[in-house]
């Protein structure tokens, strides 16, 4: 009985660890190559979202001003949001990632409308 309880506990713990590691989908390097791959994957999966970047007034970077309001209709992904920045190089990579992703997602969204 005790051995069965341990097996169930270990199986459940493994499942939780697997799910949480998959749920934290932040890119590892914030490279343009990763942004392109993620955007293409999301488009194939029909999963629309836009990356937002900036401090106090974050916005969907990489979109022309006339299309910026379209991003409000879809889920927001964190592409470097926050006022306190200790790593400027990381913040710049996040901005470039967000721009690249959004530029690829926008034509897909416009074509669906």
Q: For the whole prediction, is pTM greater than 0.95?
A: no
**pLDDT at res. 13:** 59
- Indicate the domain borders of the chain: 27-112
8-20 confidence digits (pLDDT tens): 555 555 555 554 4
* 87 alpha carbon, distance to own chain's centre: 19
The owner of tokens 């379209």 is 70
Taking phi over 0 as left and psi of -120 to 50 as alpha, with beta for the rest, 58 belongs to beta
**Degrees to nearest 5, angle at CA 43 with 40 and 45:** 110
Q: Which of 10-14, 20-24, 40-44, 80-84 has the highest mean pLDDT?
A: 40-44
């Amino acid at each position: 009985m005790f051995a069965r309880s341990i097996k169930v506990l270990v199986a459940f713990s493994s499942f939780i660890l697997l799910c949480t590691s998959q749920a934290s989908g932040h890119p590892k390097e914030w490279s343009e190559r990763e942004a392109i791959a993620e955007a293409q994957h999301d488009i194939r999966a029909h999963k629309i979202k836009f990356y937002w970047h900036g401090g106090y007034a974050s916005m969907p970077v990489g979109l022309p001003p006339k299309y910026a309001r379209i991003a409000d209709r879809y889920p927001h992904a964190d592409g470097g949001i926050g006022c306190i920045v200790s790593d400027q190089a990381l913040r710049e990579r996040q901005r470039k990632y967000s721009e690249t992703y959004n530029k690829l997602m926008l034509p897909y969204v416009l074509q669906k409308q």
